């Protein structure tokens, strides 16, 4: 481990630390007023997010210390996949409903979101299967048997995420799947079939939303309200457009330099999720547009570095892991920023590393550790080749 540290990629590690640090500060700032008004300890979410950040850092170094091939092993991926799918089945059947989606399992100290776990499973599983596909010794029957297993293992978690319903989680996971398929060199026919299947499921859900009244109650009604609010937020600012309108106010109040840390108005009961979905809006209000741009530079700089590492890797498994991780980080960031700015409908997608949440932080930290380990192998190979 000590020898491996000399190959640590600081272009990923330093932004990770900065973003996690900003997240801890902003979670405290965004949550303290709401908790205090409810008669609780204003540092409640600060303590939790700090714990998540510390645990996340431990996860990064733990994953970094393990050989990458361990995560390629069928035993690990099957176990991880079983946990992912069983947890998704559980939440669909009896999970805790949060913001219209039954996508959470309550573990006491924090809620686990199985859709987050699925990100890792889908990326590792698909990267492994494509790597196996390159083995020319597989028989004709073995190849088609593997493709069938591959299709079921990918489609099942995506289907379960979609029927929670969690549109944001579905799009994030499906995007990673699609990019890995495109990067793997599969035929146009297979790629088109999978793309049409995914889009078909999504369009079916959206078509159902058209016939659902936002006032009818239930998960679909909540989701329909978000789309209605997106279409004309000021018309529905007393109902489904309230979140987006107050997000506009937050960004407008902040201007270029911000109103100052802790001085947000919109976190005082106007935005219902100031420390999760809308933490970037509160950051913009308190610290200004310049800080928001700095955060976006850090996150997209990380993503660009991950893509670069993947493109330079000599192993297919490493390359596709990097592409998959970069994809879901990109889509998650775009959907969060698009949601708070009104460019896209609000989907409940959190901002990577900044938003409050244990499962998101730990899963992202796992991914950072894996990419750092892949980067270290590449650097070591470059040194040995000289």
Question: Which tokens go with 375?
Answer: 């980067």
pLDDT, one tens digit per residue, over 305-354 is 999 999 999 899 999 999 999 999 999 999 999 999 988 888 888 999 99
Do the bridges between strand 111-112 and strand 101-106 make them parallel or antiparallel, or are there none, so unpaired?
antiparallel
Quick check: 189 and 67 in contact, CB under 8 A? Answer: no
Among 261-275, 292-306, 328-342, the least confident range: 261-275
Please tell me which residue, 373 or 224, carries the higher pLDDT value.
373
- Quote the CA–CA distance of 372 and 375 in Å, as a whole number: 5
Tell whether the model's pLDDT for residue 48 goes beyond 70: yes
| Gyration radius of the chain over CA positions | 21
Question: Which among 9, 19, 5, 93 is positioned nearest to 313, based on CA atoms?
Answer: 9
Q: Are 351 and 22 within 8 A, CB to CB?
A: no
Q: Which of 25-29, 236-240, 301-305 has the lowest mean pLDDT?
A: 236-240
Which pLDDT tens digit goes with each residue over 24-44? 999 999 999 889 888 889 999
Could you give the CA distance from residue 279 to residue 339 in angstroms, rounded to a whole number? 12
CA–CA dist 50, 174 (Å, integer): 31
pLDDT in tens, 57-99: 999 999 999 999 999 998 999 999 999 999 999 888 875 555 5
Q: Can you list the alpha helix ranges (DSSP code H) found in 66-166?
A: 74-94, 114-133, 140-162
* Nearest CA among 164, 172, 66 for reference residue 118: 172
pLDDT number for residue 340: 92
Q: What is the mean pLDDT of residues 138-165?
A: 75
Q: How many CA atoms lie within 13 A of 57 on its CB side?
A: 14
**Measured between alpha carbons, how far is 353 from 18 in angstroms, rounded to an integer?**
9
pLDDT at 182 over 90: no
Hey, CA dihedral for 43, 365, 100, 102, is it positive or negative? negative
Which of helix, strand or coil describes residue 112? strand
Find where tokens 């190959």 sit.
7
Q: Report the distance separating Cα 118 and Cα 154, nearest Å.
A: 10
Neighbour count for residue 203 (Cβ, 10 Å): 11
Report yes or no: 34 and 274 within 8 Å, Cβ to Cβ: yes
For tokens 């990419």, name the residue.
Answer: 371
Task: Give the pLDDT of residue 198.
Answer: 60
Hey, what are 40's tokens? 């609780």
Question: How big is the CA angle at 383 (ends 377 and 386), to the nearest 5 degrees?
Answer: 140
Mean pLDDT score of the chain, rounded to an integer? Answer: 84
- Residue ranges with strand state E in the chain: 96-98, 101-106, 111-112
Residues for the chain: how many in total?
Answer: 386
Task: Give me the phi and psi of 98, to 5 degrees please.
Answer: -130, 120
**Cβ distance 317 to 135 under 8 Å?**
no
DSSP state of 170: H
Each residue's pLDDT tens digit, 100-125: 555 677 776 667 888 889 999 999 99
Residue with tokens 């492994």: 128
Cβ neighbours of 214 (radius 10 Å): 19
Rounded to whole angstroms, the Cα distance separating 48 from 55 reads 10
φ, ψ of residue 80 to 5 degrees: the values are -65, -40
């Amino acid at each position: 481990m000590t020898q491996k540290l000399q190959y640590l990629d600081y272009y990923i590690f330093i932004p990770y630390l900065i973003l996690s640090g900003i997240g801890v500060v902003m979670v405290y700032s965004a949550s303290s007023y709401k908790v205090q008004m409810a008669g609780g300890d204003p540092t409640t979410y600060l303590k939790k997010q700090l714990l998540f950040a510390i645990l996340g850092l431990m996860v990064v170094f733990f994953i970094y210390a393990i050989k990458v091939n361990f995560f390629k092993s069928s035993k690990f991926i099957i176990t991880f996949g079983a946990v992912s799918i069983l947890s998704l089945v559980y939440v669909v059947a009896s999970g805790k409903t949060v913001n219209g989606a039954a996508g959470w399992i309550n573990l006491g100290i924090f809620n686990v979101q199985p859709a987050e776990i699925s990100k890792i499973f889908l990326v590792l599983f698909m990267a492994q299967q494509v790597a196996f596909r390159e083995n020319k010794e597989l028989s004709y029957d073995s190849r088609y048997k593997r493709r069938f297993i591959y299709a079921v293992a990918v489609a099942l978690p995506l289907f379960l995420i979609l029927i929670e319903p969690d549109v944001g989680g579905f799009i994030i996971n499906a995007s990673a799947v699609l990019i890995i398929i495109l990067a793997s060199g599969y035929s146009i026919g297979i790629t088109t079939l999978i793309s049409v299947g995914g889009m078909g499921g999504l369009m079916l859900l959206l078509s159902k939303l058209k016939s659902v009244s936002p006032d009818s109650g239930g998960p679909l009604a909540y989701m329909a309200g978000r789309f209605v609010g997106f279409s004309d937020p000021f018309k529905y600012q007393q109902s489904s457009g309230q979140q987006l309108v107050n997000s506009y106010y937050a960004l407008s109040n902040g201007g270029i330099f911000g109103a100052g840390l802790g001085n947000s108005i919109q976190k005082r009961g106007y935005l219902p999720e100031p420390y999760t979905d809308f933490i970037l809006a509160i950051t913009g209000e308190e610290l200004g547009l310049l800080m928001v741009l700095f955060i976006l530079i850090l996150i997209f700089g990380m993503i660009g570095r991950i893509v670069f590492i993947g493109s330079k890797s000599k192993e297919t498994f490493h390359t596709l892991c990097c592409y998959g991780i970069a994809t879901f980080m990109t889509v998650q960031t775009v959907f969060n920023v698009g949601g708070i700015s009104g460019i896209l409908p609000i989907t409940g997608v959190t901002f990577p590393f900044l938003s409050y949440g244990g499962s998101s932080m730990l899963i992202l930290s796992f991914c950072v550790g894996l990419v750092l380990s892949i980067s270290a192998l590449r650097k070591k190979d470059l040194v040995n080749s000289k």
